[in-house]
Structure 1
């Protein structure tokens, strides 16, 4: 019997977006006859354990990325943490060497993990940030990211290549740094023709303490909202918990299948403007309201860009009021159809 080729798939543990957008890639690897090995840390690893319990899971060194309570200090916190992040990257490189030897891995797919690569094995870097927006330091942050990307064999961008795309200037360069392939707007979800049950769905994720700060604000605002609400906190815990508060049903987390159904059954979605969320909602053709994470320039750019295009309204976290949801009816919503040729992508392995 011929052994299935083993591919290491390693998403960054920064919110849930990196791990969730790896789900369709992991499933495609299985469908194409590969044997994925999943490696990450924290909630990203816990989520993928729940999605693929039969696969091998390995823990990687943690970057321990958190946000400051005030968005304006986020950039300075990242700079302050830079020495620790570089140390973690070196630890990752060593851990990957061990995993390659232990499992006879023949290919690596890293979603934004700088140290998950190997000089003797095809190594892919997934990112939608070919330009890293950071205000006055955009030139520096972009150049730093390019230096990371150059250490890989290929770069995969989860977006369309042409002018009609979702990431704007984030995911498109006039001159690619290394061989770059566009996956299309991949998503773990599929659109279903289901009856609308929820007037509003809140879908949270992202690093602390900002996730909790938005959660508390929204629960306060929704206490006087006369509509049926599904509230998913985005907290990965050992057991799924469900709580009901009058018109609001609260989950700590949902699996991909549960989320797919719930999103299809919801009229409007309130969430961060993280890029993976944008991909998911575009695949499902949803109307939404975006509240970007304070200080995260990428999310702020995406939210404003999509608002400018007349697709999704947005506002700052500190300014959100429940009446802002009335603006959604004046926007088109998200929609994007495309197919990904995984067979061609995986031919590198």
Structure 2
């Protein structure tokens, strides 16, 4: 079997979780996936695929500023360190290719994981990278990175309806861009609701922790049953209850699928992978984008304007906002048949 290195970015859990259906498809089509990442993303995939080989890559150590308005400045200040990490990551990739006899690469936003001598794929839903008045520059820099790969895969529909809007639908690059349809490891099940609301958290610190503290305090006074997923990957799962709230530090894919299906609606960040999961499960939601993250703010505002879900800024959220949920139609699955056999032809060789 040909070995395919699959390497998601450790930025929240979304990049890792949307790689799960691709890893399963690789296995089903007689490829041998080798996982490479770091931190919580690597920990999650090791729990999902304990039988697969996995390797730790250099960490980008991405953190958010305490105040969202400083996000862009923080990224600019971190750019020399980020460039150094990408160089180390590329060097590690060269060693991994030789040591593990790798035949192809799938990188989900890991900028240094590619090889000009092997078929290399870059996964992103951001052909356009929003950064305020520097969007043109961030997009050009991203385009330069993508050109180092043989193909770019966008996890969204090519036409309407779609989830990413202008992020994933812009002028195509001079390399093949393939639309996969929304990717999710979850499946909709017709079950009775067990919880009135699910709180589903993820993302880098300290903003994940800020929102956890705020929402936990707010929901202690909520008149309904709540399941609260902190999104903190640890060696062991911890479950506790306080008043009306059942609390998990993290869930496996099967547990999360069951819990979301059993929840009337979801309060979460507007991360793109969360959007894909909730659309697959036909869920209504209320989104609180990460402060200062232009992508999440755009996605939340777009879906609110289209009448799908409610949303607001983090410092504006109160429990009363949830009364707006019934005014929106919720997210729905998009019929998209992905031919993985055709998609993986890139790795079959001549």
Distance 1:324 1:224 in 2: 14
Pairwise CA distance, 1:178: 1.6
Out of 217, 222, 226, the residue aligned to residue 225 of structure 1 is 222
Which whole-Å deviations, capped at 9, do the CAs of 1:89-146 have from their partners, x for residues lacking one?
1111111111111111100000000000011000000000000011011011000100
Name the structure 1 match of 2:179. 182
Instruction: Write out aligned runs for 1:1-349 (5 A).
Output: 4-337=1-334, 338-349=336-347
Q: Gapped runs of 5+ residues in structure 2?
A: none
**3-state SS of paired residue (2:311):** coil
**3-state SS of paired residue (1:121):** coil
Distance 2:58 2:160 in 1: 38
Q: Is the 8 A contact 1:155 1:181 kept in 2?
A: yes
Pairwise CA distance, 1:340: 1.5
**3-state SS of paired residue (1:198):** coil
Distance 1:284 1:180 in 2: 27
Which whole-Å deviations, capped at 9, do the CAs of 1:178-198 have from their partners, x for residues lacking one?
200000011000111111100
Q: Is the 8 A contact 2:143 2:173 kept in 1?
A: no
Q: Is the 8 A contact 1:186 1:340 kept in 2?
A: no
Distance 1:239 1:195 in 2: 29
Distance 2:337 2:252 in 1: 23
Pairwise CA distance, 1:339: 2.2
Q: Is the 8 A contact 2:107 2:121 kept in 1?
A: yes
Further displaced range: 97-106 or 123-132? 97-106
Further displaced range: 263-272 or 174-183? 174-183
Q: Is the 8 A contact 1:198 1:266 kept in 2?
A: yes
Q: Is the 8 A contact 1:235 1:252 kept in 2?
A: yes
Q: Under a length normalisation based on structure 1, what TM-score does the superposition of the two structures give?
A: 0.98
Q: Is the 8 A contact 1:158 1:184 kept in 2?
A: yes
Distance 1:177 1:136 in 2: 25
Alignment RMSD (CA, Å): 0.7
Distance 1:189 1:17 in 2: 13
Distance 2:27 2:93 in 1: 21
Pairwise CA distance, 1:246: 1.1
